[in-house]
Structure 1
Amino acid sequence: MTRSSSRPLGPRYAFVVAGVVFVALLVSAGLRSAPSVMMLPLEESFGWRRDTVSLAAAIGIFLYGLAGPFAAALMERFGLRRVLMLAISLMASATALSLFMREPWHLVATWGVMTGLGSGAVANVLGATVINRWFKTNRGLMMGLMAASGASGMLVFLPFLAFLAQSGGWRPIAITVSIACLCLLPLVFWLVPERPADIGQRRYGATEDEPAAAAPVGNFFTATLRTLREAARTRVFWFLFATFFVCGFTTNGLVGTHLIAFCGDMGIPEVQAAGFLALMGIFDLIGTTSSGWLTDRYDPRKLLAVYYGIRGLSLVYLPYSGFSVGALTIFAVLYGLDWIATVPPTLRLANEAFGDAKGPLVFGWIVAGHQVGAATAAYFGGFMRELQGTYGLAFTVAGLTAILAAALALLIDPAHDRRAGRLQPA
């Protein structure tokens, strides 16, 4: 690995690594949001029903979540940079291959299976791994910034992708996403070392040298499942898993996949609808970064309860809002402020319960719950639209589940599992 003399900034080089990973997460978020603007163009080009396109999106979201914990284990075994470059290459290949699709199963294979597996390694679990490796302090704030990259991905990509969809159909979208992925490869190769010690540095905020990380032993697949089995014996894991399931159900699964189509049903053009998603992105960048700052200072359970409560009320409000510009602006602001604001407090609770070493891997399984919820909502939204001719009930149901999650968040208590002997002492 390159010696420290070629890496400027000292411990602050951690921010360079975080910046590159932020960009990677941003592009991955743009890829995952692309099906929402491709839905109507694919319907027009191939005559595919919305539940067909929703199925491909749901499979991609599901594999995105399922791949996370295995990606975290692979990063420990084979190196973060290697796994990240492989994942980005898979994302670029999948979107490029989709240019040749003719049948629905081609959509499922490329935008479902391949992009799901690739983007699963370029997700929140990547942010958690990088933050734990490179930062001793300010973790909540930095994880807030990483989580906000999803909002920034919408902010950067969606209006432009919607413009491409409206003027040229779905193919320019696939080309754009593929090129963006390819541009990431040299950044990761040159600027992302494995750990601070590899360039003669400490974690940001560390005041003394720390022992080298132990090399993983045994089969990584078995170790990943063993971590799940151990975590599944605790009550805190299932509360975190359930609330994050709802988080996925109420964000990228439903709103991220179907809001543009819902607006289209109400007579709002794609570019204008994507503009509201971009407005959400602006406010989520504010809200999630602020959530990271708050997570460093306040009880994360109470923060989660507030976030899920606000989200639930905003989703229940949307179908009855009238879809005027003013009403959609109010929704975009309220909903946007806590789109992914749940990530920093959820990661903090996972680290507090399972420790810095296992925390990111357990968090990967919790993120898998998020994506199972998102996949469920992606298909549920399309199914309800075909069944009822409207998305109204799907959004109302999602709002009610978020209100339930607000109550569940207050029941999260790692100390309960420690008293029962299911967790190691803090």
Structure 2
Amino acid sequence: METVQQQYKFSKPLIIMLIGSAFILALSLGVRHGFGLYLVPMSHEFGWSHQVFSLAIAIQNLFWGAVQPFTGALADKYGSKKVVAVGGVLYTIGLLLMAISSTAWLLDFSVGIIIGLALSATSFSVLLSAVGRAAHPSKRSMAMGIASAAGSFGQFIMLPTTLLLLQHIGWSAALVVSAILVALIIPLALTLNAPPYHVPKSLKNANAPELSFKQILNIAAHHKPFLWLALGFLVCGFQVVFLGIHLPGYLIDHGFDASTGTIFLALIGLFNIVGTYSAGWLGDRYSKPHLLMWLYGIRGIAIIAFLLLPLSIWTVYAFGVVMGLLWLSTVPLTNGIVANMFGVKYLTMLSGVVFFTHQVGSFFGGWLGGLNHDMTGNYNMIWGCAIFLSFFAVAVHYFVNEEAVVDD
């Protein structure tokens, strides 16, 4: 019989997996979050409108989301280690191609398709599902929160590093350096070896049938709380990609230099460490849907306050701190709800399904931001959409619960 002490203790393989996942997420998301810093220098060099770069990022997010369920299914079947290693290879190739992208179609192919596919294998859905599968159910949200928080440190480190590279060696050479760093994901994939946690037989429903991929997808497609959860995650994608890609340009439009936007994004990365860990800790103790309602509501209030207050370096940084606390706090909570609903056997695939809606939102947040700016010279319409969607997400998560649909 498993003791209470054993339930609450992370095994050595799980600790190694947490460390490896943190470094992989730090590299994968740290480089990816720095893409917004390339918008201005690449657009200026090749005479592109903001929409050209924005569309490439939008394609990346849409492609990332569209293939995520399939990448998740492969990880569920063949193991996260192999999928992440292949993702590291693709990510490296994509960055090297981006470094020589002088045309819109090559930018769409490298940043949009190749890196989009790579991110589906080296980001949250695959890695947090692997961590969640190996953790005790009572500590699952916390384990996911730890991996997310540590991975967020990559955004804090990589953003100022990317800015320094851009200033001293130029955007193309900076991408080559990023490719070399991302190649480290390939050997780091070997750390993803922790065995899945097995619920003791005495706690299992002996009569529970084994379900196929098709059956579990059919159940999920007809489970309304799961569909509401997926719809709510769309809002997260819209907001984080709009801010991550366009806020540096928004600040430049208002007379700030590039370093202000970089510090803003770095503050998001730093305080995201606190936010994601806290969300994981709270998710093991309180209702995850209710926590998500609070997170989205506070996001909306923060955006309104940022727009109404006089724009200064201090309001920019304060906004970065607040949004950092709320940035990816949704991820361990959302994945935790999916795990509670359907168990961990198909967690990567089902998290990928939910994540697809996140990336649909990301597509529109990235693309419409650039389109709005090119047509009007400002981002007013997109700011309004971001505020509306915050409160839409609050309403949507009212209909979400985390009751088990199938046995873990």
TM superposition score normalised by structure 1: 0.86
- The answer to whether 1:298 aligns with 2:299 is no
AA aligned opposite 2:231 = A
- SS of the aligned residue for 1:170 comes to helix
2:3 equivalent in structure 1: none
- The answer to whether 1:324 aligns with 2:312 is yes
AA aligned opposite 1:374 = S
Q: Aligned in 2, Cα 1:235/1:279: closer, same or farther, shift over 3 Å?
A: same
CA deviation after TM superposition for structure 1 residue 424, in Å: 4.0
Supply the distance in 1 between the matched residues of 2:32 and 2:281 (Cα, whole angstroms). 27
Q: Aligned in 2, Cα 1:51/1:227: closer, same or farther, shift over 3 Å?
A: farther
Supply the distance in 2 between the matched residues of 1:115 and 1:124 (Cα, whole angstroms). 15
Supply the distance in 2 between the matched residues of 1:330 and 1:138 (Cα, whole angstroms). 32
Supply the distance in 2 between the matched residues of 1:173 and 1:182 (Cα, whole angstroms). 14
1:5 equivalent in structure 2: none
1:364 equivalent in structure 2: 352
CA deviation after TM superposition for structure 1 residue 360, in Å: 3.2
2:156 equivalent in structure 1: 155
Matches within 5 A, 1:273-422: 273-413=261-401
Q: Aligned in 2, Cα 1:351/1:79: closer, same or farther, shift over 3 Å?
A: closer
Supply the distance in 2 between the matched residues of 1:259 and 1:173 (Cα, whole angstroms). 21
Supply the distance in 2 between the matched residues of 1:333 and 1:122 (Cα, whole angstroms). 26
CA deviation after TM superposition for structure 1 residue 414, in Å: 5.1
Supply the distance in 2 between the matched residues of 1:385 and 1:237 (Cα, whole angstroms). 35
Assess if the C-alpha contact under 8 Å between 1:68 and 1:123 holds in 2: no
Q: Aligned in 2, Cα 1:135/1:168: closer, same or farther, shift over 3 Å?
A: same
2:222 to 219, 226, 233: 233
CA deviation after TM superposition for structure 1 residue 67, in Å: 2.2
1:58 equivalent in structure 2: 58
Deviations 1:203-246 (CA, angstroms, capped at 9, x unpaired)? 4x9789999xxxxx99xxxx766644431111012111111000
Assess if the C-alpha contact under 8 Å between 2:76 and 2:349 holds in 1: no
CA deviation after TM superposition for structure 1 residue 365, in Å: 0.6
Aligned residues: 394
1:90 equivalent in structure 2: 90
1:214 equivalent in structure 2: none
Q: Aligned in 2, Cα 1:86/1:57: closer, same or farther, shift over 3 Å?
A: same
1:67 equivalent in structure 2: 67
CA deviation after TM superposition for structure 1 residue 179, in Å: 0.7
Q: Aligned in 2, Cα 1:149/1:32: closer, same or farther, shift over 3 Å?
A: farther
- SS of the aligned residue for 1:356 comes to coil
Deviations 1:364-409 (CA, angstroms, capped at 9, x unpaired)? 1101111111111100110111111012331232122111101211
2:207 equivalent in structure 1: none
Deviations 1:245-270 (CA, angstroms, capped at 9, x unpaired)? 0011111x201111111111111111
Assess if the C-alpha contact under 8 Å between 1:313 and 1:403 holds in 2: no
Percent identity reads 27
Supply the distance in 1 between the matched residues of 2:286 and 2:159 (Cα, whole angstroms). 33
Supply the distance in 1 between the matched residues of 2:11 and 2:318 (Cα, whole angstroms). 42
Assess if the C-alpha contact under 8 Å between 2:68 and 2:352 holds in 1: yes
- SS of the aligned residue for 2:180 comes to helix
CA deviation after TM superposition for structure 1 residue 56, in Å: 0.2
CA deviation after TM superposition for structure 1 residue 17, in Å: 1.1
Assess if the C-alpha contact under 8 Å between 1:30 and 1:177 holds in 2: no
- The answer to whether 1:25 aligns with 2:13 is no
Assess if the C-alpha contact under 8 Å between 1:127 and 1:147 holds in 2: no
- Larger deviation: 315-324 or 290-299? 315-324
- Larger deviation: 313-322 or 235-244? 313-322
1:127 equivalent in structure 2: 127
TM superposition score normalised by structure 2: 0.90
Assess if the C-alpha contact under 8 Å between 1:36 and 1:260 holds in 2: yes
Matches within 5 A, 1:187-226: 187-189=188-190, 191-193=191-193, 195-196=194-195, 203=197
Deviations 1:95-128 (CA, angstroms, capped at 9, x unpaired)? 1122222211010000110000011111111233
Q: Aligned in 2, Cα 1:209/1:112: closer, same or farther, shift over 3 Å?
A: farther
AA aligned opposite 2:253 = D
Assess if the C-alpha contact under 8 Å between 1:51 and 1:383 holds in 2: yes
AA aligned opposite 1:285 = I
- The answer to whether 1:242 aligns with 2:231 is yes
AA aligned opposite 1:26 = A
Deviations 1:146-181 (CA, angstroms, capped at 9, x unpaired)? 333553232011111122223443213311220111
Deviations 1:28-57 (CA, angstroms, capped at 9, x unpaired)? 112322320100011111111110100000
Assess if the C-alpha contact under 8 Å between 1:307 and 1:338 holds in 2: yes
Q: Aligned in 2, Cα 1:173/1:34: closer, same or farther, shift over 3 Å?
A: farther
Supply the distance in 1 between the matched residues of 2:53 and 2:162 (Cα, whole angstroms). 17
Supply the distance in 2 between the matched residues of 1:74 and 1:340 (Cα, whole angstroms). 25
CA deviation after TM superposition for structure 1 residue 412, in Å: 1.0
CA deviation after TM superposition for structure 1 residue 90, in Å: 0.3
After superposing on structure 2, the runs of 4+ consecutive aligned residues of structure 1 that deviate more than 6 Å are 205-211
- SS of the aligned residue for 1:413 comes to coil
Supply the distance in 2 between the matched residues of 1:81 and 1:413 (Cα, whole angstroms). 32
Supply the distance in 2 between the matched residues of 1:209 and 1:157 (Cα, whole angstroms). 47
